Amino acid sequence: MEISEEEYRRILSRQKSGDLTVFIYTSGFRRLLLEKIDTGKLSRAIDQPIESHVSILRAIWFLDMLMPLVTAVLAVVAFSWWGILGGLLAFAARGVYKTHASRGEQHILPMTLFLLTAVALATFLPLLDIWSRILIVSFVFMLFIDRLLYFFTSKFVFDLINSNYKFFSMFYTKLQSNR
């Protein structure tokens, strides 16, 4: 069953007034946009260019994959053999954080403030050697990128849902057929 444009406008109106909440499966949309769909075909199907947004999403995803390796190498540089243990702890902390990064509402401000605080402390309070300070900033940046990946995905998809009937209709129909 396809949704009409009138129903779509009614849903958006109810959402805007607070009577209805539209939830986005952020990790599913991230996976869809990065791995499972031809974005050129999707752009043509919804009559809206999305390739630049998806390119930004790919760059964030690449950083998300790269930062754990960078952090692990920096841990070894900063702490020699003890850095292996530090790297493993960083991976474990990231894993725990990542399970929560894709849930609920996506807010980037707290993580941004945390990153800026880490950079400021590393810059203006040089209590540790340079490699330890770089490691701390790298670790916080890794967590920031995790959050940014889901924040950007949810913002992009939510904006598409609220501005593009064809996009909404594609996934509304899919959701209806899965019931």
Residue 48 neighbours by CB distance under 10 Å? 14
pLDDT single digits (tens) 80-112: 888 888 888 888 888 888 777 666 566 889 889
Computed on alpha carbons and rounded to an integer, the radius of gyration of the chain in Å comes to: 20
CA atoms within 13 A on the CB side of 110: 6
Q: What is the residue extent of each domain of the chain? A: 26-169
Question: What pLDDT, on a 0 to 100 scale, did the predictor assign at position 117?
Answer: 95
For 70-85, b/e burial (b = at least 16 CB within 10 A) is: bbbebbbebbeeebee
CA atoms within 13 A on the CB side of 62: 6
Nearest to 106 by CA among 25, 175, 169: 25
pLDDT single digits (tens) 41-55: 888 888 888 889 999
The Cα 45–Cα 38 span in angstroms is: 11
